[in-house]
A and B are shown apart, each in its own frame.
Chain A
Amino acid sequence: MIEYKDITKVYGEDVKAVDDVSFTVEDGEIVVLLGPSGCGKTTLLRMVNRLESITEGDILLDGKSTSNLNEIELRRGIGYVIQSNGLFPNMTIEQNVTIVPHLLGWDKQKKEERYQKLMKLVGLDVEDFRKRFPHELSGGQQQRIGVIRALAADPPAMLMDEPFGALDPIIREKVQDEFLAIQKELHKTILFVSHDINEAIKMGDKIALMKDGQLMQYDTPANILQNPANEFVTQFVGQDRTIKSLSIHMVNDIYSQNKLKENKKLAKQVSLNTNLRDALGAILESKEQAVTVVNGQNETVGSLDFDGINQFISELTS
Protein backbone atom coordinates (compact mmCIF):
# COMPACT_ATOMS: atom_id res chain seq x y z
CA MET A 1 0.00 0.00 0.00
CA ILE A 2 1.29 3.44 -0.95
CA GLU A 3 -0.30 6.42 0.80
CA TYR A 4 0.25 9.99 -0.33
CA LYS A 5 -0.51 12.35 2.57
CA ASP A 6 -0.85 16.03 1.67
CA ILE A 7 2.15 15.93 -0.65
CA THR A 8 3.57 19.18 -1.97
CA LYS A 9 6.71 19.55 -4.04
CA VAL A 10 8.40 22.85 -4.80
CA TYR A 11 11.45 22.92 -7.09
CA GLY A 12 13.88 25.72 -6.32
CA GLU A 13 12.16 28.81 -5.01
CA ASP A 14 8.77 28.81 -6.61
CA VAL A 15 8.11 25.99 -9.12
CA LYS A 16 5.20 24.19 -7.49
CA ALA A 17 5.25 20.84 -9.29
CA VAL A 18 2.85 19.04 -6.92
CA ASP A 19 0.24 20.81 -4.83
CA ASP A 20 -1.24 19.14 -1.76
CA VAL A 21 -2.01 15.72 -3.25
CA SER A 22 -3.45 12.86 -1.20
CA PHE A 23 -4.54 9.41 -2.33
CA THR A 24 -3.91 5.77 -1.57
CA VAL A 25 -2.77 2.93 -3.82
CA GLU A 26 -4.24 -0.27 -2.39
CA ASP A 27 -2.32 -3.55 -2.39
CA GLY A 28 -2.39 -5.36 -5.70
CA GLU A 29 -3.81 -2.39 -7.57
CA ILE A 30 -2.54 -0.51 -10.61
CA VAL A 31 -3.03 3.22 -10.22
CA VAL A 32 -2.32 5.27 -13.33
CA LEU A 33 -1.03 8.81 -12.86
CA LEU A 34 -2.55 10.59 -15.82
CA GLY A 35 -2.37 14.16 -17.09
CA PRO A 36 -0.86 16.53 -19.62
CA SER A 37 2.88 17.13 -19.90
CA GLY A 38 4.39 18.97 -16.95
CA CYS A 39 1.49 18.31 -14.57
CA GLY A 40 3.78 16.61 -12.05
CA LYS A 41 3.30 12.88 -12.71
CA THR A 42 6.98 11.98 -12.76
CA THR A 43 7.67 14.13 -9.73
CA LEU A 44 4.87 12.44 -7.82
CA LEU A 45 6.20 9.00 -8.76
CA ARG A 46 9.82 9.73 -7.92
CA MET A 47 9.00 10.94 -4.45
CA VAL A 48 8.00 7.41 -3.46
CA ASN A 49 11.53 6.01 -3.71
CA ARG A 50 13.00 9.37 -2.74
CA LEU A 51 14.62 10.16 -6.07
CA GLU A 52 12.97 13.52 -5.40
CA SER A 53 12.71 15.01 -1.95
CA ILE A 54 9.32 15.84 -0.48
CA THR A 55 8.74 19.51 0.32
CA GLU A 56 5.69 18.96 2.50
CA GLY A 57 3.65 15.95 3.55
CA ASP A 58 4.55 12.29 3.86
CA ILE A 59 4.42 9.13 1.78
CA LEU A 60 3.73 5.88 3.63
CA LEU A 61 4.75 2.50 2.28
CA ASP A 62 2.79 -0.27 3.98
CA GLY A 63 2.01 2.14 6.78
CA LYS A 64 5.61 3.19 7.36
CA SER A 65 6.84 6.68 6.53
CA THR A 66 9.36 6.47 3.68
CA SER A 67 11.26 9.40 5.14
CA ASN A 68 12.49 7.21 8.00
CA LEU A 69 13.70 4.35 5.81
CA ASN A 70 17.21 3.88 4.50
CA GLU A 71 17.20 5.32 0.98
CA ILE A 72 19.16 2.47 -0.63
CA GLU A 73 17.11 -0.29 1.01
CA LEU A 74 13.88 1.51 0.20
CA ARG A 75 14.80 1.62 -3.49
CA ARG A 76 15.94 -2.00 -3.63
CA GLY A 77 12.53 -2.96 -2.28
CA ILE A 78 10.60 -1.13 -5.01
CA GLY A 79 10.67 -2.03 -8.70
CA TYR A 80 11.54 0.88 -10.99
CA VAL A 81 10.90 1.04 -14.73
CA ILE A 82 11.48 4.09 -16.94
CA GLN A 83 10.49 4.95 -20.48
CA SER A 84 13.95 4.71 -22.04
CA ASN A 85 14.27 1.26 -20.39
CA GLY A 86 17.62 2.23 -18.76
CA LEU A 87 19.21 -1.15 -19.46
CA PHE A 88 22.95 -1.08 -18.83
CA PRO A 89 24.77 -1.42 -22.19
CA ASN A 90 27.89 -2.80 -20.49
CA MET A 91 26.00 -5.74 -18.98
CA THR A 92 24.52 -8.81 -20.63
CA ILE A 93 20.78 -9.43 -20.50
CA GLU A 94 21.33 -11.95 -17.72
CA GLN A 95 23.37 -9.45 -15.69
CA ASN A 96 20.81 -6.74 -16.29
CA VAL A 97 17.91 -8.91 -15.17
CA THR A 98 19.65 -10.12 -12.02
CA ILE A 99 21.31 -6.87 -11.02
CA VAL A 100 19.16 -6.13 -7.97
CA PRO A 101 19.39 -9.70 -6.63
CA HIS A 102 23.13 -9.34 -7.21
CA LEU A 103 23.24 -6.14 -5.16
CA LEU A 104 21.22 -7.90 -2.49
CA GLY A 105 23.82 -10.68 -2.37
CA TRP A 106 21.73 -13.63 -3.57
CA ASP A 107 23.69 -16.78 -4.32
CA LYS A 108 24.32 -17.93 -7.86
CA GLN A 109 21.73 -20.65 -8.00
CA LYS A 110 18.95 -18.48 -6.66
CA LYS A 111 19.81 -15.79 -9.21
CA GLU A 112 19.80 -18.35 -12.02
CA GLU A 113 16.41 -19.74 -11.02
CA ARG A 114 15.00 -16.26 -10.87
CA TYR A 115 16.49 -15.36 -14.26
CA GLN A 116 14.92 -18.39 -15.91
CA LYS A 117 11.55 -17.81 -14.30
CA LEU A 118 11.42 -14.16 -15.32
CA MET A 119 12.45 -14.78 -18.92
CA LYS A 120 9.73 -17.41 -19.24
CA LEU A 121 7.26 -14.94 -17.75
CA VAL A 122 7.69 -12.63 -20.74
CA GLY A 123 8.23 -15.41 -23.26
CA LEU A 124 11.88 -14.73 -24.08
CA ASP A 125 14.26 -17.62 -24.67
CA VAL A 126 16.40 -18.25 -21.59
CA GLU A 127 19.58 -19.30 -23.38
CA ASP A 128 19.26 -17.30 -26.58
CA PHE A 129 19.25 -13.98 -24.76
CA ARG A 130 21.50 -14.77 -21.80
CA LYS A 131 24.80 -13.48 -23.21
CA ARG A 132 23.37 -10.86 -25.52
CA PHE A 133 23.73 -7.15 -24.90
CA PRO A 134 20.83 -4.67 -24.75
CA HIS A 135 21.61 -3.08 -28.12
CA GLU A 136 21.14 -6.49 -29.74
CA LEU A 137 17.44 -6.53 -28.76
CA SER A 138 14.37 -4.93 -30.33
CA GLY A 139 12.63 -2.07 -28.54
CA GLY A 140 9.84 -4.33 -27.36
CA GLN A 141 12.26 -6.95 -26.07
CA GLN A 142 14.31 -4.29 -24.26
CA GLN A 143 11.21 -2.96 -22.56
CA ARG A 144 10.22 -6.47 -21.45
CA ILE A 145 13.68 -6.89 -19.96
CA GLY A 146 13.24 -3.51 -18.23
CA VAL A 147 10.02 -4.78 -16.66
CA ILE A 148 11.35 -8.13 -15.46
CA ARG A 149 14.50 -6.47 -14.15
CA ALA A 150 12.24 -4.41 -11.91
CA LEU A 151 10.46 -7.59 -10.83
CA ALA A 152 13.67 -9.49 -10.15
CA ALA A 153 13.85 -9.19 -6.38
CA ASP A 154 10.07 -9.70 -6.18
CA PRO A 155 9.30 -6.28 -4.72
CA PRO A 156 5.72 -5.78 -3.51
CA ALA A 157 5.52 -2.37 -5.21
CA MET A 158 6.52 -1.05 -8.62
CA LEU A 159 6.99 2.44 -10.01
CA MET A 160 6.65 2.68 -13.78
CA ASP A 161 7.20 5.98 -15.60
CA GLU A 162 5.66 5.72 -19.08
CA PRO A 163 7.17 2.26 -19.38
CA PHE A 164 5.68 1.59 -22.82
CA GLY A 165 5.77 5.17 -24.08
CA ALA A 166 8.57 4.64 -26.57
CA LEU A 167 7.01 1.62 -28.27
CA ASP A 168 5.02 1.77 -31.49
CA PRO A 169 1.25 1.25 -31.04
CA ILE A 170 1.03 -2.38 -32.09
CA ILE A 171 3.94 -3.55 -29.93
CA ARG A 172 2.65 -1.38 -27.08
CA GLU A 173 -0.75 -3.10 -27.12
CA LYS A 174 0.98 -6.46 -26.98
CA VAL A 175 3.31 -5.56 -24.14
CA GLN A 176 0.42 -3.99 -22.22
CA ASP A 177 -1.64 -7.19 -22.54
CA GLU A 178 1.35 -9.25 -21.49
CA PHE A 179 1.93 -7.05 -18.49
CA LEU A 180 -1.71 -7.24 -17.42
CA ALA A 181 -1.52 -11.02 -17.61
CA ILE A 182 1.58 -10.99 -15.42
CA GLN A 183 -0.04 -8.61 -12.96
CA LYS A 184 -3.02 -10.98 -12.70
CA GLU A 185 -0.65 -13.54 -11.25
CA LEU A 186 1.66 -11.34 -9.24
CA HIS A 187 -0.69 -8.75 -7.71
CA LYS A 188 1.90 -6.03 -7.36
CA THR A 189 1.05 -2.61 -6.02
CA ILE A 190 1.78 -0.40 -9.01
CA LEU A 191 2.04 3.29 -9.76
CA PHE A 192 2.03 3.76 -13.51
CA VAL A 193 2.60 7.10 -15.22
CA SER A 194 0.91 7.72 -18.57
CA HIS A 195 -0.30 10.66 -20.59
CA ASP A 196 -2.50 8.49 -22.77
CA ILE A 197 -6.13 8.19 -21.66
CA ASN A 198 -6.59 4.93 -23.55
CA GLU A 199 -3.60 3.35 -21.84
CA ALA A 200 -4.88 4.60 -18.48
CA ILE A 201 -8.32 3.08 -19.04
CA LYS A 202 -6.78 -0.18 -20.09
CA MET A 203 -4.12 -0.53 -17.42
CA GLY A 204 -5.60 1.22 -14.41
CA ASP A 205 -7.72 -0.16 -11.61
CA LYS A 206 -7.86 3.50 -10.66
CA ILE A 207 -6.77 6.69 -12.36
CA ALA A 208 -5.33 9.75 -10.65
CA LEU A 209 -5.93 12.59 -13.08
CA MET A 210 -3.62 15.55 -12.53
CA LYS A 211 -3.50 19.12 -13.74
CA ASP A 212 -0.82 21.68 -12.82
CA GLY A 213 0.27 19.66 -9.81
CA GLN A 214 -3.23 19.24 -8.44
CA LEU A 215 -5.28 16.06 -8.27
CA MET A 216 -8.43 16.62 -10.34
CA GLN A 217 -10.08 13.24 -9.82
CA TYR A 218 -9.09 9.93 -8.30
CA ASP A 219 -11.43 7.17 -9.33
CA THR A 220 -11.98 4.02 -11.35
CA PRO A 221 -11.71 4.38 -15.14
CA ALA A 222 -15.46 3.80 -15.42
CA ASN A 223 -16.30 6.60 -13.02
CA ILE A 224 -13.81 8.97 -14.60
CA LEU A 225 -15.49 8.35 -17.96
CA GLN A 226 -19.06 8.42 -16.73
CA ASN A 227 -18.94 10.96 -13.94
CA PRO A 228 -16.18 13.46 -14.69
CA ALA A 229 -15.63 15.61 -11.60
CA ASN A 230 -15.15 18.88 -13.46
CA GLU A 231 -14.76 20.61 -16.80
CA PHE A 232 -11.06 19.70 -17.08
CA VAL A 233 -11.72 15.99 -16.63
CA THR A 234 -14.50 16.10 -19.22
CA GLN A 235 -12.20 17.76 -21.69
CA PHE A 236 -9.24 15.52 -20.97
CA VAL A 237 -11.34 12.39 -21.30
CA GLY A 238 -12.54 13.71 -24.65
CA GLN A 239 -15.74 13.75 -26.69
CA ASP A 240 -15.52 10.08 -27.45
CA ARG A 241 -15.79 8.99 -23.84
CA THR A 242 -18.79 6.81 -24.69
CA ILE A 243 -16.67 4.85 -27.11
CA LYS A 244 -13.83 4.68 -24.61
CA SER A 245 -16.14 3.34 -21.94
CA LEU A 246 -16.93 0.46 -24.28
CA SER A 247 -13.50 -0.96 -23.69
CA ILE A 248 -13.85 -1.13 -19.90
CA HIS A 249 -17.11 -3.07 -19.85
CA MET A 250 -17.51 -6.74 -20.64
CA VAL A 251 -20.32 -8.62 -22.30
CA ASN A 252 -20.59 -10.21 -18.87
CA ASP A 253 -21.79 -6.86 -17.42
CA ILE A 254 -24.85 -7.02 -19.68
CA TYR A 255 -25.31 -10.73 -19.00
CA SER A 256 -25.30 -10.22 -15.24
CA GLN A 257 -28.09 -7.65 -15.62
CA ASN A 258 -30.06 -10.31 -17.50
CA LYS A 259 -30.26 -8.06 -20.52
CA LEU A 260 -28.98 -10.37 -23.25
CA LYS A 261 -31.42 -11.29 -26.02
CA GLU A 262 -32.75 -14.85 -26.55
CA ASN A 263 -30.46 -17.77 -27.46
CA LYS A 264 -29.71 -17.81 -31.15
CA LYS A 265 -27.22 -19.68 -33.29
CA LEU A 266 -25.46 -16.98 -35.28
CA ALA A 267 -22.43 -16.95 -37.55
CA LYS A 268 -20.20 -15.06 -35.10
CA GLN A 269 -19.87 -15.63 -31.39
CA VAL A 270 -18.21 -13.80 -28.51
CA SER A 271 -17.37 -14.92 -24.96
CA LEU A 272 -18.55 -13.29 -21.74
CA ASN A 273 -15.17 -11.71 -21.05
CA THR A 274 -14.99 -9.93 -24.42
CA ASN A 275 -15.03 -6.18 -23.91
CA LEU A 276 -17.88 -4.24 -25.48
CA ARG A 277 -15.63 -2.49 -27.99
CA ASP A 278 -14.58 -5.82 -29.49
CA ALA A 279 -18.12 -7.15 -29.24
CA LEU A 280 -19.45 -4.14 -31.13
CA GLY A 281 -16.79 -4.74 -33.78
CA ALA A 282 -17.95 -8.33 -34.16
CA ILE A 283 -21.60 -7.26 -34.40
CA LEU A 284 -20.91 -4.71 -37.11
CA GLU A 285 -18.89 -7.24 -39.11
CA SER A 286 -21.52 -9.99 -38.87
CA LYS A 287 -24.12 -10.65 -41.52
CA GLU A 288 -26.99 -10.83 -39.01
CA GLN A 289 -25.81 -7.66 -37.15
CA ALA A 290 -25.84 -9.74 -33.97
CA VAL A 291 -23.61 -12.29 -32.24
CA THR A 292 -24.07 -15.37 -30.11
CA VAL A 293 -22.75 -15.09 -26.53
CA VAL A 294 -21.07 -18.15 -25.02
CA ASN A 295 -19.75 -18.78 -21.49
CA GLY A 296 -16.48 -20.37 -20.42
CA GLN A 297 -17.83 -23.87 -21.11
CA ASN A 298 -18.71 -22.79 -24.65
CA GLU A 299 -22.45 -23.00 -23.87
CA THR A 300 -24.69 -20.44 -25.50
CA VAL A 301 -26.13 -18.03 -22.93
CA GLY A 302 -27.81 -15.49 -25.19
CA SER A 303 -27.25 -13.11 -28.05
CA LEU A 304 -26.27 -9.48 -28.40
CA ASP A 305 -26.95 -6.79 -30.99
CA PHE A 306 -26.29 -3.08 -31.44
CA ASP A 307 -29.39 -2.06 -29.50
CA GLY A 308 -28.32 -4.17 -26.53
CA ILE A 309 -24.98 -2.35 -26.27
CA ASN A 310 -26.54 1.04 -26.92
CA GLN A 311 -29.09 0.56 -24.16
CA PHE A 312 -26.46 -0.56 -21.66
CA ILE A 313 -24.18 2.39 -22.35
CA SER A 314 -26.93 5.01 -22.32
CA GLU A 315 -28.11 3.75 -18.94
CA LEU A 316 -24.56 4.12 -17.61
CA THR A 317 -24.02 7.67 -18.77
CA SER A 318 -27.48 9.01 -17.99
Chain B
Amino acid sequence: MDSKKRITWIVRIIVYLLVIAFFYWTITNEYFNYITENIDQFKVLVREHLQIVGLSSGMALLVAIPLAIFVTRPTFKRVESLVSTLVNFGYTIPNMAILALMMGFLGIGFKTAVFALFLYSILPIYRNTVAGIQSVNTSLIDAAKGMGFKPSQILFKVELPNAAYAIIAGVRTAVVINIGATALAYLIGGGGLGNWIFMGIKVFDNSILLSGAVTVTLLAVITDYLLRAVEHIVVPKGTKR
Protein backbone atom coordinates (compact mmCIF):
# COMPACT_ATOMS: atom_id res chain seq x y z
CA MET B 1 0.00 0.00 0.00
CA ASP B 2 1.52 3.34 -0.98
CA SER B 3 1.56 6.28 1.38
CA LYS B 4 -1.17 8.19 -0.44
CA LYS B 5 -3.58 5.30 -0.05
CA ARG B 6 -2.62 4.90 3.60
CA ILE B 7 -3.30 8.55 4.34
CA THR B 8 -6.70 8.35 2.64
CA TRP B 9 -7.56 5.36 4.80
CA ILE B 10 -6.41 7.00 8.02
CA VAL B 11 -8.39 10.13 7.26
CA ARG B 12 -11.42 8.06 6.38
CA ILE B 13 -11.28 6.09 9.62
CA ILE B 14 -10.89 9.27 11.67
CA VAL B 15 -13.90 10.79 9.94
CA TYR B 16 -16.01 7.66 10.54
CA LEU B 17 -15.00 7.65 14.21
CA LEU B 18 -15.95 11.31 14.55
CA VAL B 19 -19.32 10.66 12.94
CA ILE B 20 -19.97 7.71 15.23
CA ALA B 21 -18.92 9.74 18.29
CA PHE B 22 -21.16 12.58 17.16
CA PHE B 23 -24.21 10.35 16.80
CA TYR B 24 -23.43 8.63 20.09
CA TRP B 25 -23.37 12.04 21.76
CA THR B 26 -26.56 13.30 20.14
CA ILE B 27 -28.52 10.10 20.63
CA THR B 28 -27.55 9.61 24.29
CA ASN B 29 -28.62 13.19 24.90
CA GLU B 30 -31.90 12.43 23.09
CA TYR B 31 -31.44 15.43 20.80
CA PHE B 32 -33.35 13.82 17.94
CA ASN B 33 -36.43 13.31 20.07
CA TYR B 34 -37.40 16.76 18.84
CA ILE B 35 -38.03 15.20 15.43
CA THR B 36 -40.27 12.41 16.72
CA GLU B 37 -42.14 14.83 18.94
CA ASN B 38 -42.75 17.20 16.05
CA ILE B 39 -43.00 14.69 13.25
CA ASP B 40 -45.73 16.54 11.33
CA GLN B 41 -43.81 19.80 11.26
CA PHE B 42 -40.67 17.83 10.36
CA LYS B 43 -42.38 16.38 7.32
CA VAL B 44 -43.55 19.81 6.19
CA LEU B 45 -40.09 21.32 6.58
CA VAL B 46 -38.37 18.49 4.73
CA ARG B 47 -40.91 18.75 1.92
CA GLU B 48 -40.42 22.51 1.68
CA HIS B 49 -36.70 22.10 1.73
CA LEU B 50 -36.76 19.54 -1.06
CA GLN B 51 -39.18 21.64 -3.08
CA ILE B 52 -36.90 24.66 -2.96
CA VAL B 53 -33.87 22.54 -3.88
CA GLY B 54 -35.71 20.67 -6.61
CA LEU B 55 -37.25 23.71 -8.23
CA SER B 56 -34.15 25.91 -8.11
CA SER B 57 -31.79 23.13 -9.23
CA GLY B 58 -34.16 22.00 -11.94
CA MET B 59 -34.50 25.48 -13.33
CA ALA B 60 -30.74 26.02 -13.12
CA LEU B 61 -30.23 22.81 -15.10
CA LEU B 62 -32.69 23.92 -17.76
CA VAL B 63 -30.96 27.27 -18.15
CA ALA B 64 -27.28 26.43 -17.61
CA ILE B 65 -26.93 23.41 -19.90
CA PRO B 66 -28.63 24.94 -22.95
CA LEU B 67 -26.73 28.18 -22.35
CA ALA B 68 -23.44 26.26 -22.23
CA ILE B 69 -24.36 24.38 -25.39
CA PHE B 70 -25.27 27.63 -27.10
CA VAL B 71 -22.00 29.40 -26.34
CA THR B 72 -19.93 26.41 -27.47
CA ARG B 73 -21.51 26.28 -30.96
CA PRO B 74 -18.96 27.33 -33.60
CA THR B 75 -21.24 30.16 -34.78
CA PHE B 76 -21.61 31.68 -31.34
CA LYS B 77 -18.11 31.13 -30.00
CA ARG B 78 -17.57 34.86 -29.80
CA VAL B 79 -20.18 35.39 -27.08
CA GLU B 80 -18.68 32.63 -24.91
CA SER B 81 -16.23 34.82 -22.99
CA LEU B 82 -18.85 37.51 -22.51
CA VAL B 83 -21.45 35.11 -21.10
CA SER B 84 -18.88 33.31 -18.95
CA THR B 85 -17.64 36.58 -17.47
CA LEU B 86 -21.19 37.56 -16.61
CA VAL B 87 -22.00 34.23 -15.00
CA ASN B 88 -18.71 34.22 -13.09
CA PHE B 89 -19.32 37.72 -11.86
CA GLY B 90 -22.74 36.73 -10.57
CA TYR B 91 -21.11 33.99 -8.53
CA THR B 92 -18.71 36.33 -6.75
CA ILE B 93 -21.64 37.97 -4.98
CA PRO B 94 -22.03 36.20 -1.60
CA ASN B 95 -25.25 34.21 -1.34
CA MET B 96 -26.41 36.23 1.63
CA ALA B 97 -26.14 39.32 -0.54
CA ILE B 98 -28.10 37.63 -3.31
CA LEU B 99 -30.84 36.78 -0.85
CA ALA B 100 -30.92 40.37 0.38
CA LEU B 101 -30.96 41.70 -3.17
CA MET B 102 -33.77 39.37 -4.21
CA MET B 103 -35.78 40.45 -1.21
CA GLY B 104 -35.58 43.98 -2.56
CA PHE B 105 -37.11 42.89 -5.87
CA LEU B 106 -39.41 40.01 -5.06
CA GLY B 107 -40.25 40.63 -1.43
CA ILE B 108 -40.22 37.83 1.10
CA GLY B 109 -41.24 34.21 0.63
CA PHE B 110 -40.85 30.90 -1.14
CA LYS B 111 -40.50 32.34 -4.66
CA THR B 112 -37.67 34.63 -3.67
CA ALA B 113 -35.79 31.77 -2.11
CA VAL B 114 -36.22 29.58 -5.17
CA PHE B 115 -35.15 32.36 -7.50
CA ALA B 116 -32.04 33.26 -5.50
CA LEU B 117 -30.90 29.64 -5.25
CA PHE B 118 -31.66 29.13 -8.93
CA LEU B 119 -29.30 31.99 -9.81
CA TYR B 120 -26.71 30.59 -7.47
CA SER B 121 -26.82 27.10 -8.97
CA ILE B 122 -26.34 28.19 -12.56
CA LEU B 123 -22.61 28.77 -12.41
CA PRO B 124 -21.27 25.36 -11.37
CA ILE B 125 -23.45 23.62 -13.93
CA TYR B 126 -22.73 26.14 -16.67
CA ARG B 127 -19.00 26.23 -16.03
CA ASN B 128 -18.59 22.46 -15.96
CA THR B 129 -20.70 21.96 -19.08
CA VAL B 130 -18.68 24.53 -21.04
CA ALA B 131 -15.40 23.07 -19.81
CA GLY B 132 -16.61 19.54 -20.56
CA ILE B 133 -17.63 20.35 -24.11
CA GLN B 134 -14.50 22.36 -24.77
CA SER B 135 -12.30 19.55 -23.53
CA VAL B 136 -13.68 17.08 -26.08
CA ASN B 137 -10.74 16.29 -28.34
CA THR B 138 -10.91 18.43 -31.49
CA SER B 139 -9.84 15.48 -33.61
CA LEU B 140 -13.09 13.73 -32.63
CA ILE B 141 -15.11 16.66 -33.87
CA ASP B 142 -13.02 16.77 -37.02
CA ALA B 143 -13.50 13.06 -37.65
CA ALA B 144 -17.24 13.37 -37.05
CA LYS B 145 -17.54 16.32 -39.41
CA GLY B 146 -15.43 14.61 -42.04
CA MET B 147 -17.67 11.53 -41.93
CA GLY B 148 -20.76 13.62 -42.50
CA PHE B 149 -22.28 14.10 -39.03
CA LYS B 150 -24.82 16.93 -38.95
CA PRO B 151 -24.16 19.63 -36.32
CA SER B 152 -26.90 18.18 -34.08
CA GLN B 153 -25.37 14.71 -34.41
CA ILE B 154 -21.97 16.08 -33.43
CA LEU B 155 -23.58 17.56 -30.32
CA PHE B 156 -25.62 14.55 -29.24
CA LYS B 157 -23.41 11.69 -30.40
CA VAL B 158 -19.97 13.14 -29.73
CA GLU B 159 -19.83 16.26 -27.60
CA LEU B 160 -22.43 15.59 -24.90
CA PRO B 161 -21.58 11.90 -24.30
CA ASN B 162 -17.90 12.73 -23.99
CA ALA B 163 -18.62 15.71 -21.73
CA ALA B 164 -21.17 13.80 -19.64
CA TYR B 165 -18.81 13.13 -16.76
CA ALA B 166 -17.94 16.82 -16.36
CA ILE B 167 -21.56 17.90 -16.70
CA ILE B 168 -22.80 15.49 -14.01
CA ALA B 169 -19.96 16.56 -11.73
CA GLY B 170 -21.16 20.15 -12.10
CA VAL B 171 -24.74 19.15 -11.35
CA ARG B 172 -23.65 17.24 -8.26
CA THR B 173 -21.68 20.17 -6.91
CA ALA B 174 -24.55 22.57 -7.59
CA VAL B 175 -27.24 20.43 -5.98
CA VAL B 176 -25.23 19.55 -2.89
CA ILE B 177 -24.28 23.18 -2.28
CA ASN B 178 -27.87 24.11 -2.93
CA ILE B 179 -29.17 21.78 -0.22
CA GLY B 180 -26.96 23.51 2.33
CA ALA B 181 -27.71 26.98 1.04
CA THR B 182 -31.45 26.32 1.18
CA ALA B 183 -31.16 26.41 4.97
CA LEU B 184 -30.75 30.16 4.51
CA ALA B 185 -34.12 30.36 2.78
CA TYR B 186 -35.71 30.62 6.19
CA LEU B 187 -34.22 34.09 6.53
CA ILE B 188 -36.45 35.37 3.75
CA GLY B 189 -39.47 33.40 4.76
CA GLY B 190 -38.87 30.60 2.31
CA GLY B 191 -39.44 27.78 4.78
CA GLY B 192 -37.44 24.57 4.90
CA LEU B 193 -35.21 23.05 7.59
CA GLY B 194 -33.51 26.41 8.11
CA ASN B 195 -36.50 27.09 10.35
CA TRP B 196 -35.24 24.72 13.03
CA ILE B 197 -31.60 25.60 12.62
CA PHE B 198 -32.15 29.29 13.19
CA MET B 199 -34.73 28.73 15.89
CA GLY B 200 -32.22 26.47 17.67
CA ILE B 201 -29.59 29.16 17.45
CA LYS B 202 -31.98 31.81 18.72
CA VAL B 203 -33.18 29.87 21.78
CA PHE B 204 -29.86 28.08 22.46
CA ASP B 205 -31.48 24.68 22.04
CA ASN B 206 -29.08 22.06 20.65
CA SER B 207 -31.92 19.64 20.18
CA ILE B 208 -33.80 21.88 17.72
CA LEU B 209 -30.61 23.06 16.02
CA LEU B 210 -29.23 19.56 15.47
CA SER B 211 -32.55 18.10 14.35
CA GLY B 212 -32.46 20.65 11.52
CA ALA B 213 -28.76 20.67 10.73
CA VAL B 214 -28.22 16.90 10.79
CA THR B 215 -31.22 16.36 8.56
CA VAL B 216 -29.89 18.88 6.02
CA THR B 217 -26.53 17.13 6.06
CA LEU B 218 -28.12 13.72 5.58
CA LEU B 219 -30.18 15.05 2.68
CA ALA B 220 -26.99 16.33 1.04
CA VAL B 221 -25.16 13.04 1.53
CA ILE B 222 -28.05 10.93 0.25
CA THR B 223 -28.53 13.18 -2.78
CA ASP B 224 -24.85 12.99 -3.57
CA TYR B 225 -25.06 9.19 -3.57
CA LEU B 226 -28.15 9.23 -5.76
CA LEU B 227 -26.43 11.53 -8.25
CA ARG B 228 -23.45 9.21 -8.27
CA ALA B 229 -25.81 6.46 -9.30
CA VAL B 230 -27.17 8.69 -12.06
CA GLU B 231 -23.61 9.39 -13.14
CA HIS B 232 -22.98 5.68 -13.36
CA ILE B 233 -25.92 5.28 -15.72
CA VAL B 234 -25.50 8.41 -17.83
CA VAL B 235 -21.75 8.55 -18.38
CA PRO B 236 -20.78 6.25 -21.29
CA LYS B 237 -18.60 3.35 -20.21
CA GLY B 238 -15.83 4.02 -22.70
CA THR B 239 -15.19 7.52 -21.39
CA LYS B 240 -14.43 6.28 -17.86
CA ARG B 241 -10.90 5.16 -17.38
The reply to whether A82 and B143 form a contact with Cβ atoms under 8 Å apart is yes
> Of B34-42, B154-162, B217-225, which stretch is located at the interface?
B154-162
The reply to whether A72 and B238 form a contact with Cβ atoms under 8 Å apart is no
CB distance from A111 to the nearest CB of B (A): 15
Q: A134 to chain B: which residues have CB within 8 Å? A: 238
The reply to whether A90 and B146 form a contact with Cβ atoms under 8 Å apart is no
CB distance from A98 to the nearest CB of B (A): 12
Alpha-carbon separation in the docked complex, A76 to B149 (Å) = 8
- Least CB separation from B158: chain A residue: A88
The B-contacting residues of A in range 30-80, CB under 8 angstroms, are 46, 49, 51, 72-77, 80
Q: Which of B153, B157, B241 has the most CB of A within 10 A?
A: B157
Q: A133 to chain B: which residues have CB within 8 Å? A: 237-238
- Which listed residue (B142, B162, B164, B238) contacts A82, Cβ 8 A? B142
Query: Does A135 sit within 8 A of B, measured CB to CB?
Result: yes
Counting chain A residues whose Cβ lies within 8 A of the other chain, the interface size class is 20 to 34
Query: Does A103 sit within 8 A of B, measured CB to CB?
Result: yes
In the complex with contacts A86-B139, A133-B237, A75-B145 CB distance below 8 A: yes
- Least CB separation from B146: chain A residue: A80
Query: Does A238 sit within 8 A of B, measured CB to CB?
Result: no
Q: Mark B158-201, 1 if CB is under 8 A from A, else 0.
A: 10011010000000000000000000000000000000000000
Q: A90 to chain B: which residues have CB within 8 Å? A: 158, 161-162, 164, 236, 238-239
Alpha-carbon separation in the docked complex, A76 to B147 (Å) = 5
Q: B150 to chain A: which residues have CB within 8 Å? A: 72
Counting chain B residues whose Cβ lies within 8 A of the other chain, the interface size class is 20 to 34
The reply to whether A86 and B143 form a contact with Cβ atoms under 8 Å apart is yes
Alpha-carbon separation in the docked complex, A86 to B239 (Å) = 14
- Least CB separation from A83: chain B residue: B139
Query: Does B148 sit within 8 A of A, measured CB to CB?
Result: yes
The reply to whether A89 and B238 form a contact with Cβ atoms under 8 Å apart is yes
Q: Mark A87-129, 1 if CB is under 8 A from B, else 0.
A: 1111110000001100100000000000000000000000000
- Least CB separation from B141: chain A residue: A86
Interface of A, secondary structure class, is mixed
- Which listed residue (A84, A89, A92, A100) contacts B147, Cβ 8 A? A100
Q: Which of B146, B153, B162 has the most CB of A within 10 A?
A: B146
The reply to whether B146 and A159 form a contact with Cβ atoms under 8 Å apart is yes
- Least CB separation from B145: chain A residue: A51
- Which listed residue (A46, A77, A82, A99) contacts B139, Cβ 8 A? A82
Query: Does B140 sit within 8 A of A, measured CB to CB?
Result: yes
Alpha-carbon separation in the docked complex, A89 to B158 (Å) = 9
- Least CB separation from B164: chain A residue: A90
In the complex with contacts A135-B238, A135-B241, A88-B140 CB distance below 8 A: yes
The reply to whether A73 and B162 form a contact with Cβ atoms under 8 Å apart is no
Q: A86 to chain B: which residues have CB within 8 Å? A: 139-140, 142-144
Q: B149 to chain A: which residues have CB within 8 Å? A: 103
- Least CB separation from A152: chain B residue: B147
Query: Can you identify 11 A-B contacts, CB atoms within 8 angstroms?
Result: A76-B147, A76-B148, A80-B147, A85-B143, A86-B144, A90-B239, A99-B147, A100-B148, A103-B148, A103-B153, A133-B238
A contacts, CB < 8 Å to B: 46, 49, 51, 72-77, 80, 82, 84-92, 99-100, 103, 133-135, 149-150, 159
B contacts, CB < 8 Å to A: 137, 139-140, 142-150, 153, 157-158, 161-162, 164, 236-239, 241
16 more A-B residue pairs beyond the given contacts A90-B238, A133-B237, A149-B147, with a C-beta to C-beta distance below 8 A:
A51-B142, A72-B150, A76-B147, A77-B148, A80-B143, A80-B146, A82-B146, A84-B137, A85-B143, A88-B162, A91-B238, A103-B147, A103-B149, A103-B153, A150-B147, A159-B146
